[in-house]
Structure 1
Amino acid sequence: MLLPHQLLENKIRGDFDKNIRSQFFRGLEFAGPEGDPGWFGPGSAVWHVHSHTSALIFGLQCAAFIERFDPSIFWMGSDHSRVVEHDEDGHPTGKLDLKGSGVRLAHSVAFFIGTAYGNTETAERVAQTVRAMHHTIKGVRPDGLPYDADDPEWLRWNYATVVWGIATGHELYHPTPLRNIDRYYGEFVRVGHALGGTDLPTTKAETLDCLRSYLPRLALTHGAALFTGPNLMENPDVPQEAKFFDWAIRDSMPDWAADMIAYRSPHPIERAARRAAAWAALNGSWAAMGPLPEFKQAQQRVANGTTVDHTEPAYVPGSDPVRSRETVEQMV
């Protein structure tokens, strides 16, 4: 007979297998070839940070929240992604598509696990897929301004939000956070380069400066307003777990971002209690799930040593073939 904690462990693992691994990890290789460290390898900060799946997912949610402050990001998502609901004519309604949001998150998890623990070929493959999708995201906002997911300024903003989100989730909620978080920022920049980014920040201080430098072009978009605070809490379609973590996500924001959403930190004692509850939830789910099999396979792949400390992304900007949206959809 299974004990309660074993039932919880089986459910969490089963949900991850059903909703993410079986659909979004197809074709990714973690077990071989022997000695291939991939882009990071054993002992890297990235291996340590990404091994805590719950904190990684939380960090991605933080990144998505701050990312939406860029109006172009909001309209890219409305026009091209599954995150926003569309009517029968294909026009965005502005409402959150919960199923589509789950698909987007699953793709993100597969990407950040694949680039962290996959062999070199797998890391290159998932990066190529994301670049191919970005190449198709071009359009015009309702106010007439064009947007382009290959714009270097957009790539820098997008990269900074992601590395900041993951690193912040790690610092706040990992049971053994890195003593020197700049190790992570310095390593993770390889992922940004693999997606075509240039002039990217490589430390926590540089990243915070980078994010703040975009403030003149940011705004509290309709998308950001819908998915926070009372608007989120009073939406009956939003899962309770999303409502539970909404405060923790807003609590993670830099001061200038908190000002944009009129967030004020509660009394220090209340804040500590809330953070403790979020810490318990994230680490409880992580303990129930255990290390991902992909992480264990990567460790076994280099158990007898590596050919090099790590490989480097091979992408040369402008070298990708032109693909239609339909072709790209078949790649994911």
Structure 2
Amino acid sequence: MPRANLIAARFERSFDNDIRSKFFKKLEFDGPEGDPGWFGPDSAVWYVHSHLPTLILGLVGAAYIEGLDPSISWMGHDHSRLVQRVDGVATGNIDPEGAAVRLAHSVSFFIGTAYGSTATAERLARTVRAMHHTVKGTRPDGLAYDADDPEWLRWNYATVVWGLATAHERYHARPLRGADLDRYYAEFVRVGEALGGTDLPASKAEVAECLESYLPRLAVTPIRAFNTGPNLRGNGIPPWEPGSQFMDWAARDMLPRWAQRLCLYQEPNRLALRFRRSALWLALNGLHEATGPLPEFRQAQARVAAGTTSEPVLSTAPTVPDPELTRDQIEAAV
């Protein structure tokens, strides 16, 4: 078997065992017949999210820029499984198992909201909103944080759509550009609205402006610094996996210039830069070509093959208050 096929087979086994079997169990993609879901087959979202390797890279990049907000860093430190804990005390290191769970939840959310039935997308959004309701606290400097804060939701939304769209534009073999890419930004607003966001940017230019407008409140905290750059050397994570030194470089290389300066990113010489980007482009697209379209994507296509029974939703903003749930109750529901 050619090496590319061996790598693809290993990736598919890993995805099935570590993500699909655990985090896709309650998601519906093959019915109801004719249900377009939130976006439908002609949407830019269906096209962008069908390329799983760039989707994952986009989430890595989004997580990086998101963490430049100190409040986000402390939310993760205090509430997330990302942080390694010994006897309940955070060590400052990433918990690899927790990081894998966080990534798996993110992948299932953005695949489920893209290709799942309307009911599936709505349930995923309710679950994430419920989790956000539990993330409240105070930073060591005395400033309060709240994951339901509209300003935080707007920042979080902008970082995610920026990450997914930027990874797509740079590393997809046939990326959307111009007005077509702006259509993706505009469609994706439905995801942000479903999580409680308001006044969300809806184009590439608006997202860039939104991100830069937060610059006065951003900083590289010790939490962020401990888990990037030279501090990742020798951590044993394979180069193509999230958390590796190479993928950390790829995330920082995608950042806007002002964010690169903030995190002291030093661009390699032109030859090395071209080689690294080309190697990553080849790896991501080679993996995508070898594995083929996601089964969930194919199931959604089959669901609407005979046509759709309704138009995709235009607004996903919640209309009724969410019930209060504990973290254990939330996790039991997913």
So what's the TM-score if we normalise by structure 1?
0.95
Tell me the amino acid that sits aligned with residue 111 of structure 2. Answer: I
TM-superposed deviation, 1:305: 0.8
The 3-state SS of whatever aligns with 1:240 is coil
Percent same amino acid at aligned positions?
A: 60
2:216 matched residue in structure 1 = 216
**Amino acid of the residue matched to residue 176 of structure 1?**
R
Q: 2:264 aligns with which of 231, 254, 262?
A: 262
For 1:274, the equivalent position in structure 2 comes to: 276
For residues 68 and 317 of structure 1, the distance between their equivalents in structure 2, rounded to whole angstroms, comes to 30
- The unaligned stretches of length 5 or more in structure 1 are none
Q: How far off its partner does 1:274 sit?
A: 1.3
Per the TM alignment, residue 267 of structure 1 is displaced from its structure 2 partner at its CA by: 2.8
Q: State how 1:77-96 maps to structure 2 within 5 Å.
A: 77-88=76-87, 90-96=88-94
Q: Does 2:8 correspond to 1:9?
A: yes
Cα drift, residue 247 of structure 1: 1.8
Name the residue aligned to 1:21.
20
Letter in 2 for 1:231: N
Residues 1:309 and 1:330: Cα distance change in structure 2 (over 3 Å): same
Which whole-Å CA distance do the structure 2 matches of 1:317 and 1:119 have between them? 19
In the TM superposition, 1:68-217 aligns within 5 A as: 68-88=67-87, 90-179=88-177, 180-217=180-217
Structure 2: runs of 5+ lacking an equivalent:
none
- Preserved CA contact (<8 Å) 1:39 1:313: no
Distance change (3 Å), C-alpha of 1:211 and 1:5: closer
Q: What amino acid maps onto 2:302 in structure 1?
A: Q
Q: Residues 264 and 6 of structure 1: is their aligned pair in 2 closer, same or farther, counting only changes over 3 Å?
A: closer
TM-score, length-scaled by structure 2: 0.95
Distance (Å, rounded) in 1 between the aligned partners of 2:6 and 2:274: 30
Aligned-residue offset at 1:310: 0.9
In the TM superposition, what is the alpha-carbon distance from 1:3 to its structure 2 partner? 5.0
Aligned AA (1:326): D
Q: 1:285-324 to 2 correspondence within 5 Å?
A: 285-312=287-314, 314-316=316-318, 319-324=321-326
**CA distance in 1 between partners of 2:70 and 2:268 (Å):** 29
Contact 2:55 2:167 in 1 (8 A): yes
**For residue 148 of structure 1, what is the amino acid of its counterpart?**
D
Q: Is the 8 A contact 1:28 1:114 kept in 2?
A: yes
| In 1, Cα distance between equivalents of 2:75 and 2:229 | 23
State the secondary structure of the residue aligned to 1:33.
Answer: coil
Contact 1:40 1:47 in 2 (8 A): yes
The residue aligned with 1:42 is 41
Q: Secondary structure at the residue paired with 2:93?
A: strand
